Chain A
Amino acid sequence: MGIIKAVQLAFEYIRRDEDGNVEGITRAIDGVDLEIKEGQFIAVLGHNGSGKSTLAKHLNALLHPTEGTVYVDGKDVREADKVWEIRQTAGMVFQNPDNQIIGQVVEEDVGFGPENLGVETKEIWERVEESLKAVGMYEYRKHSPNKLSGGQKQRVSIAGVIAMHPKCIILDEPTAMLDPNGRKEVLRAARALNQVEGITVILITHYMEEVIHADKVFVMDQGKVVLQGTPREIFTRVEELRKLRLDVPQVTELAYELKKAGLDVPEGILTKEELVEALKSLKK
């Protein structure tokens, strides 16, 4: 079994009026089955309200499934006494960098997770050092988080999760509030974690460019997984993605339009270099 396995997962938000009567039920997740292997870099795509964040919150037991379940490293999220183990196994980074930093000094914030786990003082310091180095924020360890840029804050948040030694990190739209430079910084840190440390990364996003390097992509719409496959497989299906109100990367779209206009370019082009090569070979 993979590190994360969802079985017929469903979740309903129940809206109540002021007297507590049920006003309506929104099915945010509707029968999701997915399996993620250890060490993979996974991307979950979807526009706002597709249920991708709700899914993320199930992967470390922040939300309780209405139906079905999720197994994290073989542990069932429905079991109340496994909650802390699950949250340690699957760490989570949220969207807003300001609302997830607890410490007043960078190093204290990174130490917050290990402190909660009851790690010895000496080991906390070792973990803080290695985690800050892993995201390239070690020289900022004595700084106040308020003085950092958005990208730096998110890297500190990632370090805070790594310090808990998780097997898997879920990044819930970590770049949504950042400028392009900050986005690059955070993505680079996430990819390094996956490649160097071998941590499974699940990146939830609606930016297409961010999923190109993923091993596998899940596309969500209205609470269901509607497409899954490698980025190349996904991006060959331009028409379907458009229907889901998702844009493909510019290069892919250009290649698609060229193909539609009659040029013989291969499907699912992801990078500029690939397109250049394809056009060159066409000229010959």
Chain B
Amino acid sequence: MLKDITLGQYYQTESLIHRLDPRVKLVGTICYIISLFLVNKIQGYVIALIFLAIIIRLSKVPFKFMVKGMKAILFLLLLTVVFNLFLTPGETLISIWKLTITKEGVRVAMLMAVRLSFLIIGSSVMTLTTTPNHLTDGMEKLLNPLRKLKVPVHEISMMMSIALRFIPILMEETDKIMKAQIARGADFESGNLIKKAKALVPLLVPLFISAFRRANDLAMAMEARCYRGGEFRTKMKPLIYQRADRLAYLILIIYLVICFLAGR
């Protein structure tokens, strides 16, 4: 059961967006989010909506996958809307008991709802069209200038990709240990929260020991294969900007300019 989970939420298909350089997608998503918070007129949001719709269309990912991401933040979304609706001071629209809805409140609440949903959908476009591996690669390359500030960029990205590789293995191991402990009479289901947390100890201790052992083995295997950090290393799949990527940057800039001019 635990074995089948896929990491991130990559949706495998062939599309223009899938083929883009991960750096373009990362920068694009960040710029899009910034644009959402910069504009505050209806026109701006219409442009943001059109832009997002075009991207989703181009990505060939079914829309229902984007909405999936929304479910997770539905509660947060509702909370934000309710708070903004009732707590924004201004011209009273309706007043029930002690609660008042103001004209400004309605406006801010709607604004926040739109911003948040666009933000979530926008970033799921990125995670749906880019493999976690590609994302770490893109991040490494984008953050490369930070190396001058002694930030271990290569090491961080290596750790991330190793973590991604080992998550399914450790999941499987958790499953195995859990079954082994259940067979010995361990009870993970009943009792209150504290009791349940305590029941996890016989699961976590062997898991940690095994994880450390694996880490030790892996480190040795990496050394045996001449791994010595990021220096001198070449890439099997280097990231090189293609024409489509440059074009995408250009479109992004045009979008940002239009958004800024129309939406402020």
Contact = CB atoms under 8 A, between A and B. Distances in A.
Contacts of B168: 146
Contact of A96 (B217, B226, B232): B217
Contacts of A125: 236
Contacts of B182: none
Given A94-B217, A104-B164, A112 B225 contact: yes
Contacts of A99: 214, 217-218, 221
Contacts of A262: none
A124 B165 contact: no
A91 B228 contact: no
Contacts of B228: 84, 116
A-side interface mostly: helix
A114 interface: yes
B222 A102 contact: yes
B46 interface: no
A115 interface: yes
Interface string B139-172: 0000000000000000000000110110011000
B190 interface: no
B36 to A, nearest CB: 32
A108 B226 contact: no
Interface string A112-138: 111111111100110010000000000
B226 A88 contact: yes
A128 B221 contact: no
B234 interface: yes
Interface string B164-203: 1100110000000000000000000000000000000000
B238 interface: yes
A100 interface: yes
B226 A92 contact: no
B224 interface: yes
A251 interface: no
Nearest to A161: B225
A98 interface: yes
Interface residues of B, number: 27
Contacts of A103: 165
A108 B136 CA distance: 14
A118 B168 CA distance: 30
B165 A115 contact: no
B235 interface: yes
B220 interface: yes
A164 B226 contact: yes
Contacts of B63: none
Given A84-B228, A102-B162, A108 B236 contact: yes
Contacts of B233: 115-116, 118
Contacts of A120: 234
A179 to B, nearest CB: 17
B218 A102 contact: yes
A87 interface: yes
A62 interface: yes
A115 B235 contact: yes
Nearest to B227: A116
B217 A62 contact: no
B223 interface: yes
A87 B223 contact: yes
B218 A100 contact: yes
Given A88-B226, A146-B168, A164-B225, A114 B236 contact: yes
A124 B224 contact: no
Contact of A98 (B214, B220, B223): B214
Nearest to B173: A98
Contacts of A117: 226
A119 B234 contact: yes
Given A116-B233, A120-B234, A121-B236, A84 B226 contact: yes
A104 B161 contact: yes
A239 to B, nearest CB: 37
A94 B234 contact: no
Nearest to A86: B226
A100 B217 contact: yes
B237 interface: yes
Contacts of A112: 225, 227
Interface in B62-119: none
A87 B222 CA distance: 11
Contacts of B235: 115, 121
B133 interface: yes
A182 B169 CA distance: 19
Contacts of B161: 104
Contacts of B164: 104
Given A87-B225, A94-B224, A116-B225, 7 more contacts: A94-B220, A99-B217, A112-B225, A115-B234, A115-B235, A120-B234, A164-B225
9 contacts: A84-B228, A91-B224, A99-B214, A99-B221, A102-B162, A104-B133, A116-B225, A118-B233, A125-B236
